[in-house]
Chains A and B, each alone.
Chain A
Amino acid sequence: MAELTQNEKRLLGVLEKERKADAKHLATLLDATPESVVQWAHLAGDKGLVSLDRVVDKTFGYTDEGKDYLKHGLPESQLLKFITRNTLLVDLQKHGSFKIGFGQLRKKGLVIVSNGMVSKADGASTSADEAALKNPQTGDPKTKELIKRGILLETESVRYIISLQDEGLQLLRQGLDLREEIGTLTRDQILSGAWKTSNFRRYDVTKLPKKAYPGKVHPYQRIIAEMREILLEMGFEELYGGIVQQSFWNFDALFQPQDHPAREMQDTFYLRESLPLPPGYEKVKAMHESGGGTSSTGWGGVWKEEKAEQCVLRTHTTSVSIQHLAKNPTPPVKAFCVGRVYRRETIDTTHLAEFEQLEGIVMDEGVTFGNLLGILREFYHRMGFEGVRFKPSYYPYTEPSLDAEVYVEGIGWIEMGGAGVFREEVTAPLGINYPVLAWGLGVSRIAMLRLGLKDLRYLHRSDVAFLRQTPALRHTKGSV
């Protein structure tokens, strides 16, 4: 049997003596409202301890009209008294109760009218009607009629009779702990020591209450934070830079030829704004046109200033790292940047026009392509990827170039990002005299894997339910 509440116990307690009683009566005994008592009786009734009977009582009352008749008699009674052997109708019409009373008398056949004279029928009496008025009875036709005439009012009232059942009696005989029960532990109970003599109400501990949702960072943010942490541990300094970049820093300084397809309007978001070129830009111009005195041939053709001045939404964070290198040409430089980058792509489940890129650079005396592979292997290992491999690739501003692939259980080898050594065409015009290792990766790729997302848009137009339900731990290190 389910646990009895304290109130059910109290109800059983009083019923031990009363056995059967009206809820109202029990309510006074229990110092509660009858409604509460009925509610407790329901609970105890479900357990078969008591029975609960619903009794409907009808009671009668009087309308204002009825109250008046109770005092002075029904109109037909008053009129009947007035009628003698031969009463003139015209005289009768002067009586205050004529309108209602006369109609009733005729309807009941208590008067006879002939030749302007009114006389009582034999044995005419309204005593039965008066009796019904004074003492209405359920089912009495006279009473019904008075109700119909709007003289009497019939109201229903419900009573509950609660009676102790055998099972309840047995339980009482076994003895009930009737000490006070504590629901919410109050300050008073704690301080007064009342808790010592009280019972703590037992709860259903398996029943989940209304859910609590913690405030938390976005699962994608957690992945970004994890990558930042790894690079900080690996001794990298973090960079932060603008979303809006000059074409010069986004493309030209990275030796991207001015007629390169990636620079066209259909691949890059251009802005109407232009910014003046930085001092020393001529060296970049010379590099593009003729190789700037290095072993390079350059791209040939004419390099146009206006094209380089135009602002774009950065297509990679490399535009930020290259400016950092130009400002800090003294080795060693180990830096990284995570930020939103933009490609003019039609948005669908796997392509977004904006996404996070992580990018790192190492500039130092004597660093090699082999060191770059070493950094990447270390980074991906720390991200939880055991299998890492490299294959040749092509990026306009690195030589040699590579793509890194990681092994994911159940999927296979997945391309994770590109890397390479900055071309001399990139470093020489900016006065950078040491090799620069550079790599980048799309953060959303890892997020998709970790979160099992089928649609990248979900990262940025998230369902709150998804964010609430996604546990924090799933996205921490080493748990792809």
Chain B
Amino acid sequence: MAVITLPYKYLERLTRTDKKTILDKIALIGSDVERVEEDHADVEFFPDRPDLFSPEGVARAMRGYLGIETGLPSYPVKPSGISFTVDPRLVDIRPVLGAAVIRGITFDDESIQSIMSLQESLHWAVGRGRSKVAIGIHDLDTVKPPFSYIASPRSRKFVPLDYTEEMSMDEILEKHPKGRDYAKIVRDFPLFPLIVDRDDHVLSFPPIINGERTRVTIETKTILLDTTGTDRRAVGVAVNIICTAMAEAGAKIESIGIDGVQTPTLAPAERTVSVQECSSLLGVELTELTMAELLKKMRFGAVPAKAGYVKVQIPCYRADIMHDWDIFEDVAIAYGYDKIQDLPPKTFTVGKPHPVQVYAALAREVFCGLGYLEVMPFTLTNEDVLYTRMQRVEKKGVLHVMHPISIENTVVRTELLPLLLEFLALNRHRELPQRLFTVGDVVDSCLTYQQAAGVSTHPDADFSEAYALADAVLHELSIDYTINESADPAFIDGRRGDIIVAGNLAGVFGEIHPAVLNAFELEHSVAAFECDLRAVPGYPGT
């Protein structure tokens, strides 16, 4: 999530109202206020609204929402006369380029910091960690147009940002911190993307690092913005968001001719949307006029079109408007969620529990009646607990997660009993007897089903207790079973029984093997029982 720092003085100046009014309402446009400090607030915005990742963008939205300035903001763009060419060999490397000139802004350390943090937030939310979009800003006066975006040999040398010596692009990937961070995006290409000026001075090695030459300082008067990437729409949105934020801060935006096409235009897109569709989605009565007014509060351009429709102009910085309903959500926000009449739907329906949960509840009832206490172990565990300590062979259908967080959580449980023994170990210091049970999901070869298991530990826990437990649970669940001598190595030979239902193994019970007790560091004998609930007659899927 993007947490944006909003300095009050700057925000108040841009919004043209006091900070209290802003902070009171800011959550209502879609945000979470994380911290309110003396001179600033940290506010989290959602990833679908990168246009709110700067104080300028927030002020623009709040002016609309508070009714200070509504409707489509306009951003005039005049051509800079600068041109850019794109090397066709970049088509499979990083084909898309966006660029603009930003003039007339005085930079201080704070505003440089502000544009840098917008840049970083965009890299995260729109750029997918620079792979989809990467943004560079340069001091235009340090280089000479026209500029070229080229596919360069990897041996090309220049001085990267924060360095004083020339390095080859290969060396940058190896040695420069940014190079190491983002190497994976370009590493496999034979040629690397590079932006150079008329005199072959390097501006940038996108998406890795800029050249030191074009560093933006407080002396900078004019900015050249470059944005490269793999997705035309995402690159366009990133350019628009930065340019309009800078324009809100007082800058003048000029376009650049990229292979002859002037960009950016900062012009709105258009959609004509149905008032009726919006009304019935939200459950709010609307007219063309009221809907248009609400949309203007959200900084759309909106005028009633043909009967029942509104023509909407979508600001160029709105990355999230993909569908008419995205516009309807803004209508709802402008209307106020608290004003929408909240009545449950009227259609009559009958509630129905799922049989799996009904049977699980029944099993719980039986265990509780026998004095067993329910526990709810994690479903992620490891081979050591499930198999090694149990002296059991690893189940064929066990699922290994590909990137486990720790060695404790490497597989999804295939049985419940080992987890109960682990539980007893955890509670070794607690009063005996301890009788615990659990009912829940296990997974075998991508198939989820439920098991029930119970353990009893105290100095006299024995086979008879395990058998009596098994019999009671199976009887209450109407499971018709027979017993065979078991060969399960988790139990003592001659004190273990397999539960056979309709010819299939459905569970096991007995006295836990002392080697297993040792492995779990248990000090008293354990009577144990586990069973597959699919043995219950009429169980779903059987």
Query: A242 to B447, Cβ gap below 8 A?
Result: yes
Query: B443 to A295, Cβ gap below 8 A?
Result: no
Q: In the complex, A299 Cα to B322 Cα: how many Å?
A: 8
Q: Which of A215, A331, A399 contacts B369 (CB 8 A)?
A: A215
Please list the residues of chain B having a beta carbon within 8 angstroms of any beta carbon in chain A.
27-30, 32, 46-49, 128, 131-132, 231-233, 271, 280-284, 322-326, 328-329, 332-333, 337-338, 340-345, 347-354, 356-357, 361, 364, 367-380, 399-403, 405-406, 409, 412, 423, 426-427, 430-431, 434-436, 441, 443, 446-448, 540
Q: In the complex, A236 Cα to B348 Cα: how many Å?
A: 10
Query: A354 to B325, Cβ gap below 8 A?
Result: no
Q: How far is the CB of B31 from chain A (nearest CB, A)?
A: 8
Q: Bits for A422-444, please: 1 = Cβ < 8 Å to B, else 0.
A: 01110000000001010000000
A274-329 contacts to B, CB under 8 A, are 275, 291, 294-301, 311, 313
Q: Which of B283, B341, B348 contacts A235 (CB 8 A)?
A: B348
List of B residues within 8 angstroms of A61 by Cβ: none
Query: A296 to B448, Cβ gap below 8 A?
Result: no
Query: A270 to B401, Cβ gap below 8 A?
Result: yes
Q: How far is the CB of A368 from chain B (nearest CB, A)?
A: 3
List of A residues within 8 angstroms of B426 by Cβ: 461, 463
Q: In the complex, A225 Cα to B324 Cα: how many Å?
A: 39
Q: How far is the CB of A262 from chain B (nearest CB, A)?
A: 10
Q: How far is the CB of A122 from chain B (nearest CB, A)?
A: 76
Nearest opposing residue in chain B for A244, CB measure: B446
Q: Which of A218, A291, A346, A437 contacts B405 (CB 8 A)?
A: A346
Nearest opposing residue in chain A for B434, CB measure: A464
Most B CB atoms within 10 A — which of A238, A424, A463, A468? A238
Q: 12 A-B Cβ contacts within 8 A?
A: A271-B401, A339-B441, A340-B441, A346-B405, A347-B405, A353-B409, A369-B332, A370-B341, A371-B283, A392-B333, A394-B48, A464-B427
Query: B412 to A402, Cβ gap below 8 A?
Result: no
Q: In the complex, A378 Cα to B347 Cα: how many Å?
A: 15
Nearest opposing residue in chain A for B333, CB measure: A392
Query: A371 to B345, Cβ gap below 8 A?
Result: yes
Q: Which of A220, A221, A271, A291 contacts B402 (CB 8 A)?
A: A271
Q: Which of B282, B348, B353, B372 contacts A368 (CB 8 A)?
A: B282
A213-242 contacts to B, CB under 8 A, are 213-218, 220-221, 225, 228, 231-242
Beyond contacts A366-B280, A389-B338: 15 other A-B pairs, Cβ-Cβ < 8 A, are A215-B369, A218-B374, A238-B351, A244-B412, A259-B131, A294-B323, A295-B323, A353-B405, A369-B283, A392-B28, A394-B46, A394-B47, A460-B376, A462-B376, A465-B430
Q: Which of A217, A352, A399 contacts B329 (CB 8 A)?
A: A399
Given the contacts A213-B373, A295-B323, A371 and B282 also touching, CB distance less than 8 Å: no
Q: In the complex, A383 Cα to B347 Cα: how many Å?
A: 22
Given the contacts A269-B401, A399-B329, A244 and B443 also touching, CB distance less than 8 Å: yes
Query: A236 to B351, Cβ gap below 8 A?
Result: yes
Given the contacts A243-B412, A300-B231, A300-B233, A463 and B427 also touching, CB distance less than 8 Å: yes
Given the contacts A393-B46, A464-B427, A273 and B30 also touching, CB distance less than 8 Å: no
Q: In the complex, A270 Cα to B370 Cα: how many Å?
A: 40
Query: B368 to A374, Cβ gap below 8 A?
Result: no
Query: B344 to A424, Cβ gap below 8 A?
Result: no
Most B CB atoms within 10 A — which of A236, A266, A392? A392
Nearest opposing residue in chain A for B282, CB measure: A369
List of A residues within 8 angstroms of B431 by Cβ: 465
Q: How far is the CB of A364 from chain B (nearest CB, A)?
A: 5
Top 6 nearest A-B pairs by Cβ distance?
A: A368-B283, A370-B283, A373-B342, A394-B46, A232-B351, A400-B329
Query: B340 to A354, Cβ gap below 8 A?
Result: no
Q: In the complex, A459 Cα to B49 Cα: how many Å?
A: 36
Query: B403 to A225, Cβ gap below 8 A?
Result: no
Query: B403 to A265, Cβ gap below 8 A?
Result: yes
A107 within 8 A of B: no
Q: Which of A374, A415, A423, A462 contacts B345 (CB 8 A)?
A: A374
A107-128 contacts to B, CB under 8 A, are none
List of A residues within 8 angstroms of B374 by Cβ: 215-218, 221, 467
List of B residues within 8 angstroms of A215 by Cβ: 367-374, 435
Nearest opposing residue in chain B for A216, CB measure: B368
List of A residues within 8 angstroms of B28 by Cβ: 391-392
List of B residues within 8 angstroms of A232 by Cβ: 351-353
Query: A234 to B351, Cβ gap below 8 A?
Result: yes
Q: How far is the CB of A382 from chain B (nearest CB, A)?
A: 11
Q: How far is the CB of B409 from chain A (nearest CB, A)?
A: 6
Q: Which of B284, B370, B373 contacts A468 (CB 8 A)?
A: B373
Q: In the complex, A238 Cα to B357 Cα: how many Å?
A: 9
Query: A313 to B332, Cβ gap below 8 A?
Result: no
Q: Bits for A346-369, please: 1 = Cβ < 8 Å to B, else 0.
A: 110000111000000010101111
List of B residues within 8 angstroms of A234 by Cβ: 344, 351
Given the contacts A390-B338, A394-B47, A460-B376, A271 and B400 also touching, CB distance less than 8 Å: yes
List of B residues within 8 angstroms of A366 by Cβ: 280
Q: How far is the CB of A75 from chain B (nearest CB, A)?
A: 58
List of B residues within 8 angstroms of A228 by Cβ: 353, 357
Query: A391 to B30, Cβ gap below 8 A?
Result: yes
Given the contacts A296-B323, A344-B405, A392-B333, A377 and B342 also touching, CB distance less than 8 Å: yes
Most B CB atoms within 10 A — which of A261, A270, A437, A460? A460
A150 within 8 A of B: no
A384-409 contacts to B, CB under 8 A, are 389-394, 396, 399-402
Query: A237 to B401, Cβ gap below 8 A?
Result: no
Query: B351 to A231, Cβ gap below 8 A?
Result: yes
List of A residues within 8 angstroms of B406 by Cβ: 347
Q: In the complex, A232 Cα to B332 Cα: how many Å?
A: 30
Query: B354 to A238, Cβ gap below 8 A?
Result: yes
Query: A375 to B345, Cβ gap below 8 A?
Result: yes
Q: In the complex, A271 Cα to B333 Cα: how many Å?
A: 40
Query: B322 to A298, Cβ gap below 8 A?
Result: yes
Q: How far is the CB of B45 from chain A (nearest CB, A)?
A: 9
List of A residues within 8 angstroms of B49 by Cβ: 394
Q: How far is the CB of B61 from chain A (nearest CB, A)?
A: 12
Query: A344 to B364, Cβ gap below 8 A?
Result: no
Most A CB atoms within 10 A — which of B271, B356, B364, B380? B380
List of B residues within 8 angstroms of A298 by Cβ: 322
Q: How far is the CB of B353 from chain A (nearest CB, A)?
A: 5
Q: How far is the CB of B279 from chain A (nearest CB, A)?
A: 9
A332 within 8 A of B: yes
List of B residues within 8 angstroms of A311 by Cβ: 446
Query: A218 to B375, Cβ gap below 8 A?
Result: yes
A421 within 8 A of B: yes
Query: A259 to B128, Cβ gap below 8 A?
Result: yes
List of A residues within 8 angstroms of B280 by Cβ: 366, 368
List of A residues within 8 angstroms of B446 by Cβ: 242, 244, 271, 273, 275, 311
Q: Which of A273, A364, A425 contacts B323 (CB 8 A)?
A: A425
Q: How far is the CB of A299 from chain B (nearest CB, A)?
A: 8
Query: A236 to B367, Cβ gap below 8 A?
Result: no
Q: How far is the CB of A409 from chain B (nearest CB, A)?
A: 21
Query: A399 to B356, Cβ gap below 8 A?
Result: no
Q: In the complex, A332 Cα to B351 Cα: how many Å?
A: 12
Given the contacts A401-B329, A460-B378, A334 and B338 also touching, CB distance less than 8 Å: no
Query: A354 to B281, Cβ gap below 8 A?
Result: no
Q: Which of A270, A378, A468 contacts B344 (CB 8 A)?
A: A378
A94 within 8 A of B: no
